[in-house]
Structure 1
Amino acid sequence: MNLSVQTMTYEYAEESLRWTYEPPYDFYNVELSEEALAERLDGSYRTVMDEDGALIGFFCTGESAKVPAGVKDGVYAEAAVDMGLGMHPSLTGQGNGGLFGKKVLAQIQQENEGIPIRLSVATFNKRAIRLYENMGFVEQASFQTDACPFITMIKE
């Protein structure tokens, strides 16, 4: 599968906000709202498309990638580029994460050469944690949200 990164559009923002994940990953479902659309269109989000032009995922960098409880706990104090990502629910759990994750990571590294990359992940999401470890990320810190515990992972 040949993937490309593109600017987030209104249509893709709306489409991605309509995605619904099965439990326990329904934790990642986001309600379609004007506020959520505005965040997806603020310039920090981009799309990942397949060779047929279908939206397979998205990623964000900067403040949008940080979990508010982690900000409060100071886990983002060290300088790094924070990233967040989401893949279409129909593609998860089928071995597609490696290609998707590598594309996102390569794009962010190309734009931020020499700066560590950091992400936050819910500790129950063992699939994602395994993917990130395979991509060279290591656990750095932990924090608790109202919903569940999280860890931050970093790639130097």
Structure 2
Amino acid sequence: MQLLVRNMTEEYAKQILTWKYEAPYDFYNNEESSKSHSELLENPYYAVLNQTNELVGFFCIGSAAQVPYGSTVGAYHEDITDIGIGMNPSLTGKGLGAKFFSFILSYIQETYKVDSIRLTVAKFNQRAIHLYTKLGFDKKVEFSRETTEFITMVKNY
């Protein structure tokens, strides 16, 4: 699977907002609203396409990738570039995550020349945590927001 990064467009945003994940990953389902639509278009979100221009996933960088509550508990006190990712639910659980995320990490490293990169993941998402650990991320800070526990993980280059 050959991947390409493109700027987020209205069409990609509409597609992403209709994605529905199966439980327990339905936690990541988006609400189709003007607010969530604006979030994708007005922040540094990027589409990831395959060689036939199909939307494989997306990523965002900066504060858009943070869980807002995490700032109030010091989860983001270090000056590190944050990343958030999402993969088309029709492609999850098929062994494509490592290639997808490695591609994004390489793109960010080449484009932004970062020393470290941080992500935040829901603690229940052991599938993602396993992948992130395999790709060199270490667990850093844990925090809870209502009934959900989160972990920040950092990869140093």
TM-score of the two chains, using structure 1 as the length reference: 0.97
Equivalences for 1:28-107 in 2 at 5 Å? 28-107=28-107
Secondary structure at 2:95 match in 1: coil
Task: Check the 8 A contact 1:116/1:155 in 2, yes or no.
Answer: yes
Q: Flag as ranges the 4+ runs of structure 1 deviating above 3 A.
A: none
Deviations 1:46-97 (CA, angstroms, capped at 9, x unpaired): 0000111000100000111000121111110101100000000011111010
Secondary structure at 1:74 match in 2: coil
Q: Does residue 1:129 correspond to 2:129, yes or no?
A: yes
Secondary structure at 1:102 match in 2: helix
Deviations 1:100-143 (CA, angstroms, capped at 9, x unpaired): 00111111111221421000000110110011011110001110
Report what 1:145 is aligned to: 145
Note the residue ranges of structure 2 that are not aligned, 5 or more in a row. none
TM-score of the two chains, using structure 2 as the length reference: 0.97
Report what 1:117 is aligned to: 117
Following the alignment from structure 2 to structure 1, what is the Cα–Cα distance between the partners of residues 137 and 47?
Answer: 22
Secondary structure at 1:144 match in 2: strand
Task: Check the 8 A contact 2:141/2:152 in 1, yes or no.
Answer: yes
Report what 2:11 is aligned to: 11
Following the alignment from structure 2 to structure 1, what is the Cα–Cα distance between the partners of residues 13 and 155?
Answer: 28
Following the alignment from structure 1 to structure 2, what is the Cα–Cα distance between the partners of residues 113 and 148?
Answer: 32
Note the residue ranges of structure 1 that are not aligned, 5 or more in a row. none
Secondary structure at 1:30 match in 2: coil
Secondary structure at 1:21 match in 2: coil
Q: Amino acid of the residue matched to residue 51 of structure 1?
A: Q
Task: Check the 8 A contact 2:75/2:141 in 1, yes or no.
Answer: yes
CA drift at 1:29: 0.4
Percentage of pairs with the same residue: 46
Following the alignment from structure 1 to structure 2, what is the Cα–Cα distance between the partners of residues 80 and 49?
Answer: 26
Following the alignment from structure 1 to structure 2, what is the Cα–Cα distance between the partners of residues 26 and 114?
Answer: 31
Instruction: Please give the root-mean-square deviation of Cα atoms over the aligned residues, in Å.
Output: 0.9
Aligned residues: 156
Secondary structure at 2:42 match in 1: coil
Task: Check the 8 A contact 2:43/2:64 in 1, yes or no.
Answer: no
Range 51-60 or range 107-116, more displaced: 107-116
